[in-house]
Structure formats: C-alpha cells, structure tokens
Chains A and B, each alone.
Chain A
C-alpha cells in the first residue's frame, strides 16, 4: 500500500528565506506526483505536477523535483513571502492496472504547515 510522508510537519521562517519541503513515497510505481497548496478552511490549489518521466517542474518561485527511484520529491520555494503561508501537500497517482481501477486514486501526505513571518 502506498504511503506518503511529508517532512517537516511545520516550518516557520522569516521573509526572504529560501526553503525546501520534502515528500517521500514508498511505492515507486507512480504516474505522477503533484504539489498542492491549501489555505486554512479552503480547498486545494494545484501548484506543480511532475510526470513520472520528468525530473523537475518550475513555476515562478517554485521548483519541484522528483527522484522516482528513491521515492522522493522536494518543493523548493525561493525568496519566501508572507503570502506563501499555507499548508503544502504532495500527492502521488499510482500506475493504472489492467482494469483501470487505480485511475484517479491520489494518495496524499499529511502536509507541511508553512508560516512566513515579516
């Protein structure tokens, strides 16, 4: 059974710092990995999606890497701002089996709560 773990559980940094969030998964048979952002009491917003054949994806100040063989992904946030404060979740989508029953079954980590203070 796929398990996804995120470290650290919480992180508090001063504005302007570069930071790294970590995500590890136990089964490397994945189609893709996604990073999401969740503001308190809100839904999730997709930040980056990395296909299993890719090594990294970039969007603005965000860079996500994927090392499928070691079961790890990192989300790098450059020059952090107070507006980056949120919970960051990673999720993996498994490879579909012959019956397609694995399609859409994302497995999530528990999230990292990020606080960026001025």
Chain B
C-alpha cells in the first residue's frame, strides 16, 4: 500500500523545546517537501530535497532544520528559534521532474503550549 505517512498526527510542544516531525514515503520518489499551513492561508514551502543528502531552503526556512539521509525519509525539526510554530505541517513527495505532481501526506498539527 503505497503512500506518504506523517507522524504524529497531533503534537504538543512547550516553548523552548525542539520537536521532530516524521515523514516517510514508499513511492520511490526522489523529491520531498515540507510545507506549513496557517488558518485561512495557503501552503508555504519550508524546505525541499531533490536527492538524498541534499536539500534547499524554501520561503520560510528560519527556525527549521531537515535531513535527508535516506530516500524514503525527510524529517523536519522545529527548533526553539521558530517564533510562531503553531501550525499544520504537510509533507509531500514527487518524481524529480518539473512537470510531476506532488503527493501529500495527512499532515501533523503542532501546537505550542
């Protein structure tokens, strides 16, 4: 059963803590992406990776970090430097070509207490 999984579905964080969001795909896609969605807004790109061991900053990378050690996995760490981390986080993947659609995971809702 191919697809993209994200965990956990809900995550609560105290101020000053780092948290890591998981994203795994078994679609054999080369490219993976992290987006942030705030209420009533579209998605904004945080980081993306075209191949293993390489990734690029998106439009709002400050306060976030990623790694891409395996093709299937692209974890996102929300650091304490991120001033307003409460949001819905979406991971996506695609073939590494300009014309291919992105497939999205179910999302993780992060709330800072």
Residues A46 and B101 in contact, CB atoms below 8 Å apart: yes
Chain A residues in contact with chain B, CB under 8 A? 4, 6, 9, 31-32, 34, 36, 41-46, 49, 51, 89, 91, 93, 95-96, 100-101, 103-106, 108-111
18 A-B residue pairs with Cβ-Cβ distance under 8 Å, sorted by A, are: A6-B42, A31-B98, A32-B99, A34-B101, A36-B104, A43-B104, A43-B105, A51-B99, A91-B43, A95-B98, A101-B56, A103-B31, A104-B31, A106-B33, A108-B42, A110-B41, A110-B42, A111-B40
Chain B residues in contact with chain A, CB under 8 A? 4, 31, 33, 35, 40-45, 48, 50, 56, 58-59, 88, 90, 92, 94, 96, 98-99, 101-107, 109
Known A41-B109, A103-B31; further 16 A-B contacts with Cβ < 8 A: A4-B42, A42-B106, A43-B90, A43-B105, A49-B99, A89-B43, A91-B43, A93-B98, A95-B98, A105-B58, A106-B45, A108-B35, A108-B42, A108-B43, A110-B41, A110-B42
